[in-house]
Amino acid sequence: MASVNKVILVGNLGRDPEMRTFPSGDQVANVRIATTDRWRDKNTGENKEATEWHSVVFHGRLAEIVGQYLKKGSQVYVEGSLRTRKWTDQSGQERYTTEIRADTMQMLGGRQGMGGGGGGSQGGDQFDDGFDSSPRRAPAAARAPAAASRPAAAPAPAQRPPASSSGFDELEDDIPF
Amino acid sequence: MASVNKVILVGNLGRDPEMRTFPSGDQVANVRIATTDRWRDKNTGENKEATEWHSVVFHGRLAEIVGQYLKKGSQVYVEGSLRTRKWTDQSGQERYTTEIRADTMQMLGGRQGMGGGGGGSQGGDQFDDGFDSSPRRAPAAARAPAAASRPAAAPAPAQRPPASSSGFDELEDDIPF
Amino acid sequence: MASVNKVILVGNLGRDPEMRTFPSGDQVANVRIATTDRWRDKNTGENKEATEWHSVVFHGRLAEIVGQYLKKGSQVYVEGSLRTRKWTDQSGQERYTTEIRADTMQMLGGRQGMGGGGGGSQGGDQFDDGFDSSPRRAPAAARAPAAASRPAAAPAPAQRPPASSSGFDELEDDIPF
Amino acid sequence: MASVNKVILVGNLGRDPEMRTFPSGDQVANVRIATTDRWRDKNTGENKEATEWHSVVFHGRLAEIVGQYLKKGSQVYVEGSLRTRKWTDQSGQERYTTEIRADTMQMLGGRQGMGGGGGGSQGGDQFDDGFDSSPRRAPAAARAPAAASRPAAAPAPAQRPPASSSGFDELEDDIPF
DNA sequence: TTTT
DNA sequence: TTTT
């Protein structure tokens, strides 16, 4: 059946990416992204705001880029799809966590939000290392793998949802997100 | 801070909408929408598929339209934003549910998936009854209220997440979704 | 520089796709898609509508699917990017034509709008023939080539814009669109 | 008929906005936005890039914000819809120009790209003057008017397309864009 | 937990 | 005509 499952976010990282590396060398990056709505209350005239936090998962080459260039505070554009994972908590109850699986990522807003220590000329945010995460013409490696397999994540008995490991069988380093 | 929080879905209703009506007459519609990915496994060559289920909440005039025209199986285009609600389950544990708050809705694919009993000419899906849910030029009533207030939903002590009631204080009829 | 150039359409084909085949066997499909806005005039209370026509270009495997399954009247979801081509008309003047280069396509709304003669069970629109044009997990062949080259189309001296032939050098059959 | 006509851009202004003011005081802003794709050529291995230029039209309160805060070089997120206008050139020939009518706008990337002279703390891009152009909860004034009427622009006899003036009858100051 |  |  024809279907579309698409998420588009522009927001800021709440903290540095959580990286996990697989024995194969493949990486997964988990990131928390904040989006904030601001509006004026019709009745009271007050300025209001509400922040939404999103869990975003990056795979493969995209994860590497995230680990290398993003840090707490970075502003990013992310395009991906929703995935709700089922897991079992300590008490044996089924629980659900909704994540965004990223397909593309664009760094926004100059170097101020970039990781990697390098100062560099404020105002730029270009990658000069041969990769490209443009939505349309990016090399395969800079986008999510197009037709990855989709095994269920092995759920861990935890109170917090287990880290997403879609598409991989073993974790070298399982930092819960 | 500049931010974007946008979801676009094309999928089918898993069951009829769950409607709730407020004393004011305002309505909320909760809907489960399925999106299905199909792909061929690179290694085995097998055809695979995975279905994702999304909880979508409609308010106001949009909710009325949903209640009137959509039913189990209806194919829809939905545009909205992600909202994660926190609630407390029976055992006192904090839990989270992620929903899509719909801003616009478009019925797709002819009358076959429409509610309301009417047969009508198969193949069409035009509305000729004066409302309009077009993304760009819809009358205010057919889109989500533009600058609604955003009080926290009053969480109910339940094992399932309480029905979303953002923006309203009292439920006339609280069907858990 | 970080950038995003994205178009999302849901609309209907104004006529059957125009197909062109290259000596290599590659195909290009040109399609005209109508989107219609309806709204009620604030001042007069009249119902109004305006139709927008979009030129959409499909390449490679996507073009083949379009040629095989879409026809006049088909309802489709298209995701792509904007491209403005420059060409020279008969009088030597520079002119510009804006097209949407499609990355993904989803057929909507049951078989009523499908080409290929087959009747089939009205109401469904599932493909069971091994291809997949889902936005996320589609096989490479059903999406636009990820990193195609981008030579300028060779402009033809015509009053109408020449057919788009980005990425190809020779046309076997040059039907102007 | 159900339809969607949506454009999402992240790019930079090629020059300062062109502002026009109507006798009523309403404003229109015309902006040129560049999006750039970069990719590595599969065959030659060369880094390539192509820039696409988009004409974007803002109305009402959004136009005012654009005039006040954006300038050449500003990085923006724009959401809108495609509109192709027909006009007649000097020689009497019908010509077409495709524009993006903006519905929402988000400034990206800190103050480095902001107009208005003010230096301020680099890295910020917040508005502190009571308006809000957030996609979801913005006050009506900061988004495009929801149900504006849609009269055809009065075409001017020019070699370049006449400036877009959808929704307005008279121009106080007609700077061609 | 971000950002302004 | 932008940006890196």
Provide the number of CB pairs (under 8 Å) joining chain B to chain C: 65
pLDDT given for residue B163 in this prediction: 67
Chain C residues closer than 8 Å to B139 by CB: 39-40
- Residues D135-171 pLDDT 10s: 333 332 235 554 444 533 333 334 556 666 544 333 3
Interatomic CA distance for residues A35 and B11, integer angstroms: 25
Which nucleotide lies nearest residue D122, CA to C1'? E4
Question: pLDDT band at B152, cuts 50/70/90?
Answer: very low
Which nucleotide lies nearest residue D55, CA to C1'? F1
Nearest to B4 among A2, A35, A41 (CB): A35
pLDDT given for residue D140 in this prediction: 24
Which of C3, C4, C150 to mutate to test binding with chain A, by most A CBs within 10 Å of its CB?
C4
> Does the structure show a pLDDT above 70 at C159?
no
Whether residue B173 lies inside any domain: the answer is: no
- Residues C95-113 pLDDT 10s: 999 999 999 999 998 655 4
Interatomic CA distance for residues C18 and C57, integer angstroms: 10
- Residues C25-67 pLDDT 10s: 999 999 999 999 998 998 899 999 999 999 999 999 999 999 9
Over chain C, what is the mean pLDDT?
74
pLDDT given for residue B168 in this prediction: 36
The alpha carbons of chain D give a radius of gyration, in whole angstroms, of 18
Interatomic CA distance for residues C153 and C168, integer angstroms: 8
Give distance CA C86 / C1' F1 (Å).
16
Does A67 contact strand E, using a CB cutoff of 7 Å?
A: no
Interatomic CA distance for residues A73 and B1, integer angstroms: 11
Range of the domain at C78: 7-107
Flag the least confident range among A109-118, B129-138, C162-171, D23-32.
B129-138
The CATH number covering residue C81 comes to: 2.40.50.140
Average pLDDT of the residues in B137-158:
40
Structural domains in chain D (count): 1
Interatomic CA distance for residues C177 and A78, integer angstroms: 35
CA-closest candidate to residue D81, choices D109, D59, D51: D59
Over chain D, what is the mean pLDDT?
73
**C contact chains, 3+ CB pairs < 8 A:** A, B, D
Q: Using an 8 Å Cβ cutoff, are C139 and C132 in contact?
A: yes
Which nucleotide lies nearest residue A31, CA to C1'? E1
Q: Report residues of chain A scoring pLDDT below 50.
A: 112-113, 116-142, 146-149, 151-158, 166-177
Whether residue D128 lies inside any domain: the answer is: no
Whether residue D138 lies inside any domain: the answer is: no
- Residues D63-86 pLDDT 10s: 999 999 999 999 999 999 999 999
pLDDT given for residue D53 in this prediction: 97
Chain C residues closer than 8 Å to B137 by CB: 37-39
Nearest to B41 among A12, A83, A149 (CB): A149
Whether residue C35 lies inside any domain: the answer is: yes
pLDDT given for residue D123 in this prediction: 32
Name the protein residue, with chain letter, whose CA is nearest the C1' of E1: A14
Give distance CA A14 / C1' E3 (Å).
9
How buried is C73 (Cβ within 10 angstroms: 0-12 exposed, 13-18 middle, 19+ buried)? Answer: middle
Interatomic CA distance for residues D30 and C34, integer angstroms: 25
- Classify C115 as helix, strand or coil: coil
Whether residue B69 lies inside any domain: the answer is: yes
Nearest to C138 among B39, B47, B113 (CB): B39
pLDDT given for residue B151 in this prediction: 37
> Does the structure show a pLDDT above 60 at C133?
no
- Classify D88 as helix, strand or coil: strand
pLDDT given for residue B148 in this prediction: 41
Backbone angles phi, psi at C80, to 5 degrees: -165, -155
- Residues D97-116 pLDDT 10s: 999 999 999 999 865 445 54
Whether residue B135 lies inside any domain: the answer is: no
